[in-house]
Amino acid sequence: MLDGEAFGRLFETFERTAFRLETLAVYDVEEEAEEMARFQAGEPMGPNWDDNPWVRSMTDKGKRVSRVHVLTSPITDYLSYELSAHPGNIKAGESIGIIDLSEQSVNGLPDHYFWLFEDRDVYRVHYTDAGKFIGAELLPADRLPEYQAYRDTAHTHAVPFAEYWEHHH
């Protein structure tokens, strides 16, 4: 199981593609507490909100970063905060799709969060029930086709973030 630091290095070393399936409604991220409080207070979020430097650090090197977020409306306060930042991620080059399970039923997706790097390495990301990161587990290579199918199913059913946001924001 990779800890946060070792997992973070993967984002510096992957060469072409990184896809994530996001499944949690709440995350407990200490580094976001201050920013989330500003968001909830309606304060300005700053330039990083409008053009995410973490995403740009990858896309400026020609890497493709994408995600599909599986959620259920009505969304949590945390997801309101997170989704409000997505336009800045998209501006920085990330492709984001949404599957709202209150609007459609999708079979064939896992109930957990994972990253797929280079269409080759799958990391299942483990969290506590409260959404605190525990670690990322590199899954055996024989699980790759299963997770590629999850990715393909997610892409098939996802609506582009802008379309989702226009109808729900």
Question: What are the residue ranges spanned by the domains of the chain?
Answer: 4-168
Tens of pLDDT, residues 41-74 = 999 898 888 999 999 999 999 999 999 999 999 9
The DSSP code sequence of 12-71 is HH--SEEEEEE--S----GGGHHHHHHHHTT----HHHHS-HHHHHHHTTT-EEEEEEEE
Mapped onto helix, strand or coil, the DSSP state of residue 131 is coil
Tens of pLDDT, residues 66-93 = 999 999 999 999 999 999 999 999 999 9
**pLDDT of residue 169 exceeding 90:** no
Residue 74, preceding peptide bond in cis (omega within 30° of 0): yes
Phi-psi region of 104 (alpha: psi -120 to 50; beta: other; left: phi over 0): beta
* 4-168 classified as CATH 3.90.1150.10: no
